[in-house]
Structure 1
Amino acid sequence: MANQVKSGITNILELQPQDSTPLYRQLYERLRLAILTKQLIAGVQLPSTRSLASELGISRNTVLLAYDQLLAEGYVEGKVGSGTTVAYVLPETLLSPAKTKSNPQFEHQQYSHKRLSQRGTALVKTPLIPKPLQTSKGKQQRIFRPGISAVDAFPHELWSQLIARRARNSLQNLLTDHELAGYRPLREAIAAHIVVARGVRCTADQIIMVAGFQGGFDLAARVLLDPGDPVWMEDPGYLGARGALIGAGANLVPVPVDTEGLDIAAGIAKCPQPRLIYVTPSHQFPLGVTMSLTRRLALLEWANQNGTWILEDDYDSEYRFVGRPLTALQGIDISNCVIYFGTFSKVLFPALRLGYLVVPPDLVEAFIAVRHFIGTRVPILEQAVLADFMNEGHFNRHIRRMRSLYAQRRATLVAALERELEFEIYAPETGMHLVLWLPPGMDDKLASQQAAAVGIDAMPLSLFSITETKAGLLLGYAAVDVHEIHDGVHRLAKALRAI
């Protein structure tokens, strides 16, 4: 019968609750290393998830996630919850040629570090947005997860009909090559929309379709940046942008954000000659502040004088609940130094990885030339269906419905939080999430872990920060109906009081 690991297992795990790496990932990595270095030998039975959670002082869900990952990758065998043992044949044994003389720990370090480029190593160390929590039935649990739209309110049947109509009537015509910049009717529809809705100054010729934010940022970085170029990055800021900049070999310069948006004076003091500036002026991520007009004009004037490009990420500014959405930064740029980025993942549904860049006229040819060589075209059928969705008026109707729905859900969440917790809340009249500021001395990573234990996806603000920042939690409300909000806030409040 397999040997049982005694309570001494805690001596080789040494979890670090203050570390930015999630606890389940720390546990998985330490168990995996213990298996590879023969500290846990083949056939040994791991403790039950409940007993190990008790010994380590962590939630059982954390242990379950770590065990599930080990099981999926082949490091352990059996059924989680009914006896889990270390596998006799490890994945490394199957994937690597046999060696006569070896040290498993040394080999693992060689594989992990020596084969990666400097940029690859930096990317591996960049924090990732945690995957959605899983329920016991494997269903994704997204209560209060920021950045998720109300998929339940999306017109699925209508979208299906548009797909079927396109596939039935014009699929053959769509199978041939199209313009590198993307499906022309969609680019025309986007131009017509953002000129009116966002005040962007452009024609369809300036629009280039990309595969979501990462595809757009990668293209812009290839055209505009050389390795080592300094780039201002909002701090705290979007992790996807940070990863894309690191992937481009840029030298990141974290610039603080205050109540008026990016602090230009602080940026100039840190780095007076950046090659590019990344900003989310209409609804800063993750803080939610809107860049003031004074700050916008100052940024444009300074960028023009210094020959600096600005990449404007306008990710969810369609959703403003009071008055009209503010004019995009690009719309008041008279020197053509702004590259504007928009996406449909937030305004429609996350799986629709369609985005677009609006580039200055004198850069269009360069962007399309580079696009030719990186092979990141987006699916033509989805572009055609989205063009129909916009040209037939469905897109604007959907946006209007979602503004009303999100405003209601936002108000419900704010009221519930004020009733359950005496914490400061920043809930701007725009976007899809708010910030719950934590009391002095409370660790937002610990608070996030406590929330996760009760099924709440509350991301810590520190996850998005390069330097120190005030502790807070991001709570998304777009994908949570009013009935779930009340129960979710009650669970969250109970978890936070336990800290």
Structure 2
Amino acid sequence: MSAPDFIDLNISRNKPLQEQLYTALVERIKSGRYPAGSQLPSSRAMSKSIGVSRNTIIHVIEQLKKDGFLVSKASKGVFVSPIFSACIDKITNISKNASKTELSLPSLSNQDKLSAIENTYWPDSHPFSPGMPDVKSFPYKKWGKLFHRHQENIKFNGYGDINGYQPLRELLSDYLNSTRGTFCTPDQIIITSGRLESLDLCARLTLDAGDTVLMENPGCTRARFLFNTMHVNLKPLEVKQGVLNVDYLMKNELNGKLLCLTPNQQSPLGGIIPFQERLEILNWAEKNKCWILEGDSDNELFNEGIPVDSIQGLHSSTPVIYIGGFSRVLLPNLRLGYLISPKPLVPAFKNAKMQLSGPCPLTHQVILADFIREGYFTQHARQMRKSYQEKLDHFFGLMRCDLSSSINIISKRSALNFTLNIPGHNDVKISERLFKKGFGSTPISPYYYCDNSKENGLVLGCANTSSCDRIRFISTLKDLLT
């Protein structure tokens, strides 16, 4: 069987002839126009039919043979490869069948539990997305200067220490001990790619299938998702007036392997656990042989109240793993976080990180260390704290004028995360409608675990908003609630 001639092939003199001919032949073979086993005309006939030199034809045919589209048969000529065409036919048939019938896929692990967590959200760049900093005000020139200082330094283009860049860990140790009330040495700090990696490492090192995890309810949905994949038992703990109900924990003889807490800004309700209750939690954990996973965030940018010292730093040796990060204070795409490990666990964390994810990008760690050492970090945080306070004041001033009867304020400690209660409304649907209008938000109700007394509300952030954004948001939300 011979392939058709090329009388319908249009050649443009404005493009490379070999490229045009190669592409045209490939498309005709893939489409089945030149089927498997069909013979191409001779190079002389093709040259005459197309109107290009025979050398051009020969070059293209040789390339097609190298790429598997064509084969030569001694004393017979050049033919379309039957092997390649068979593969094309198989792919085409699968595609056609897939459009008619749904493919049967393997099941997911632990699917029944994972599918129960719905309506979870990841922050985006929309105005009012919680956790999104004011990226327009970041000191890019200062960061860029530090980047250029180190970008060609070969020793910073390798993998680096699995625990993180030593000078950065030294700076962090001093900073966290003085501002967070932690009690740690540089060797206890492990640099991660963010809070989610820190959480994953902690869960893998402390939990086995069947263990019990105690969690605030409402509480972090991503932590809940991770724990469900590990086949552990989740025990929700009551949150009262925006913080963990410590009396409930003390009086109900609860046993668990891990207690997951956000004591400085409860997620999502924003409350702060008082100092005395932190001592009670720590004493309870030591007595019951339970690890505490202490999540911390945004303390540099709090606009209301002074952060209470961390639970991790209440004693020199505690069963507490402390995690934090830089994405909200600096830039989301920095993707650097940290955890403070109890000293006995440091080798285990180092080995787990080595096996599961490896070291974090070294150049960013080096730049961040200089950024902190040269005072840019503190300066930026101070400027943002002032700017965010002005934005919060403007937003809540607008809200008092137009929405005071429809909304209750749950927390307003930080412009990055504040929480509003919207009684009588479906917060998931309100959040979806806001998104269609160009605004970010996170509904509160998905944070609750197996609880019929869910509150309806929104977690918002106005750090990444302009004055016009705030005015337009209040007007939009007012329309949605009336």
2:340 and 2:367 mapped to 1: Cα distance? 21
Matched with 2:107 is 115
TM-score normalised to the size of structure 2? 0.75
Distance 1:176 1:298, change over 3 A: same
Distance 1:398 1:295, change over 3 A: same
Residue from 321, 324, 337 that aligns with 1:339: 321
1:425 aligns with 2:416: no
Q: Which amino acid aligns with 1:347?
A: V
1:104 aligns with 2:125: no
Matched with 2:441 is 458
Q: Which amino acid aligns with 2:234?
A: L
Matched with 1:353 is 335
Residue from 118, 134, 138 that aligns with 1:127: 118
Name the % identity. Answer: 32
Distance 1:486 1:296, change over 3 A: same
Matched with 1:43 is none
Shift of 1:307: 0.5
Shift of 1:102: 12
1:239 and 1:380 mapped to 2: Cα distance? 30
- Secondary structure of 1:253's counterpart equals strand
Matched with 1:9 is none
Shift of 1:388: 0.9
Shift of 1:452: 2.8
1:173 aligns with 2:155: yes
Q: Is the 8 A contact 1:425 1:435 kept in 2?
A: yes
Shift of 1:306: 0.3
Once the two structures are superposed, the pairs formed by residues 252-331 of structure 1 within 5 Å of their partners are 252-259=234-241, 261-267=243-249, 272-322=254-304, 324-331=306-313
Shift of 1:327: 1.3
1:444 aligns with 2:420: no
Residue from 117, 136, 143 that aligns with 1:152: 136
Q: Is the 8 A contact 2:199 2:223 kept in 1?
A: yes
After superposition, the C-alpha distances for 1:134-190 in whole angstroms (9 at most, x for unaligned) are: xxxxxx75121111111111111211221111113x2x0123442211111111111
Q: Is the 8 A contact 1:456 1:492 kept in 2?
A: no
Distance 1:375 1:481, change over 3 A: same
Q: Which amino acid aligns with 2:373?
A: N
Residue from 167, 182, 190 that aligns with 1:200: 182
Residue from 359, 381, 398 that aligns with 1:399: 381
Shift of 1:450: 3.1
Residue from 379, 382, 389 that aligns with 2:361: 379
Distance 1:434 1:337, change over 3 A: same
1:186 aligns with 2:168: yes
Q: Is the 8 A contact 2:194 2:337 kept in 1?
A: yes
Residue from 349, 353, 358 that aligns with 1:367: 349
Q: Is the 8 A contact 2:250 2:284 kept in 1?
A: no
State the superposition RMSD in angstroms: 2.6
Matched length = 389
2:307 and 2:328 mapped to 1: Cα distance? 16
TM-score normalised to the size of structure 1? 0.73
Q: Is the 8 A contact 2:408 2:421 kept in 1?
A: yes
Shift of 1:343: 0.4
1:94 and 1:260 mapped to 2: Cα distance? 56
Residue from 163, 167, 174 that aligns with 2:147: 163
Gaps (5+ residues) in structure 2? 1-89
Gaps (5+ residues) in structure 1? 1-92, 133-139
Residue from 211, 214, 227 that aligns with 1:232: 214
Distance 1:403 1:98, change over 3 A: closer
2:172 and 2:304 mapped to 1: Cα distance? 23
